Each structure stands twice: as C-alpha cells, then as structure tokens.
Amino acid sequence: MLLLLAAVGVAAGSAVLVSGMAASILEDGRVWRTGTVSEHAEVQGTQTTSRFIFRNYDLQVSFADASGEVRSATVSYGMLFGSLDVDAPLEVRFDPAAPGRVALSWAQDVLVARWLQVLFVGAVMVLGFGGFLGWAGHKALQRFRDVRAAAARPELQLLGVLAYSGEVEHSFRAKWNTRSGHVEQSERQRRWPGFTSPPSWDG
C-alpha cells in the first residue's frame, strides 16, 4: 500500500514536471508571436550536456524595451538531440505587458528538439509507472490465487508455512513390540516417511 501511494505521488510529480515543460514552450511561442522586437539585446549563460544527447541552457538576457530602458530576464531551455546555434543572428522579443517574459530566435529554431525532450520524459514516466502498476497487479493476483488455493485445500497452508520456516518438525507415536522386534507405526508416521524405526533386537 505504501509503495502504491509512493508511486502515485511520483506519478503526480512527474505529471506536474512534464506539464510545466510543455507550458514553458507554449508560453515561449506566444511571446514570440505577439511580442515586441528589441532593438538591442545581449545574451550570456551556460550550456550543460548530459549523456551526449540532452542539453540544457541557462541564459541571462539583457535587452532594451520600447522606451530604450535596459531590462534583464532569465530563460532556460532543455532539448533532446539538438543545440542552440549561438553563432546565428539573434533576435529577442519581449511581452510589453510583462517585459520579464522574453523569447529568443535561437530557441524557436530548435522547437522540435525541445518537444522531443518533453515527449521523452513523459514516455519514461508513463512506462515506469505503468510497469510498477503491472508488477503490483501481478503480485496482488498471485496473492489472491494463493489465498483461494489455501482456502480450498487447507493442507497447502501447512506446506506453505513449513516451506517458509526452513525447519520441519513432525510429531509421531510408535509402539515397540519386544516380541516381534518391530515397531508399530502410527498413521501419522506412515504419512510422513523419512523417520527411521528403531533397529530390530535379537533375542
């Protein structure tokens, strides 16, 4: 139960993460379509590469708004199988109603790579959660079948417990006949072979 709750929590967090990534790309596109072009802009920042296919950019953008006032904004981009062409001409557009929201032409050129990252992360989360649910469902079904089998055949419960303990101890009763020199085994002992009868005595 705790594992299931933990999985649900991870799934919810993953959904928030993926939806946030998608919303960021959509908002970036909106600013690019409706924003105002800055006459002067400058960008600096860092690029992080992971496993040769994932790239993340953290950029600091300085730009002039419509009145000529210099403003700054911070943007981050993540992508799969792509990279920003920092040698290409740069155009920066900003939202006049919220100048802190900016869009870069460099980021618009790699939209496919940015969406690929969103799809990849989403697929990994779905497959991981789906795999966990499949495993949990299989274990629950197996448990249900074991309970039904034990209810139908009570002796299976004994066998299950004995197999789990790793140490078996059976009680039995034997009567020694001094005349015949043979042991009289009880019904329970005959049902559990493996117990050695006392040796025969001569005389």
Q: Is residue 187 part of a domain?
A: no
Task: Count CA atoms within 13 Å of residue 149 on its CB side.
Answer: 11
Q: Is residue 168 part of a domain?
A: no
Parent domain of 57: 2-120
Better-predicted residue by pLDDT, 151 or 187 = 151
Is 50 exceeded by the pLDDT of residue 99?
Answer: yes
Q: Report yes or no: 72 and 45 within 8 Å, Cβ to Cβ.
A: no
At 156, the pLDDT band (50, 70, 90 cuts) reads low
Each residue of 64-81: pLDDT tens digit? 988 888 999 999 999 999
Q: Is residue 86 part of a domain?
A: yes
Is 60 exceeded by the pLDDT of residue 100?
Answer: yes
Q: Is residue 15 part of a domain?
A: yes
Q: Which residue, chain included where needed, has tokens 């960008």? A: 43
Q: Is residue 128 part of a domain?
A: no
Is 60 exceeded by the pLDDT of residue 178?
Answer: no
Q: Is residue 173 part of a domain?
A: no
Each residue of 109-140: pLDDT tens digit? 999 999 999 888 888 877 776 666 666 666 77
Task: Count CA atoms within 13 Å of residue 102 on its CB side.
Answer: 28
Q: Is residue 129 part of a domain?
A: no
- Report the alpha-carbon distance of residue 133 to residue 140 in Å, rounded: 10
- Report the alpha-carbon distance of residue 70 to residue 64 in Å, rounded: 4
Q: Is residue 92 part of a domain?
A: yes
pLDDT at 51 (0 to 100): 80
Each residue of 1-39: pLDDT tens digit? 555 555 566 666 667 777 888 888 999 999 999 999 998
Neighbouring residues of 58: CB distance < 8 A, sequence distance ≥ 6: 45, 46, 48, 74, 76
- Report the alpha-carbon distance of residue 156 to residue 146 in Å, rounded: 9
User: Could you tell me the two tokens for 129?
Assistant: 């959660």
Instruction: Tell me how many domains the chain contains.
Output: 1
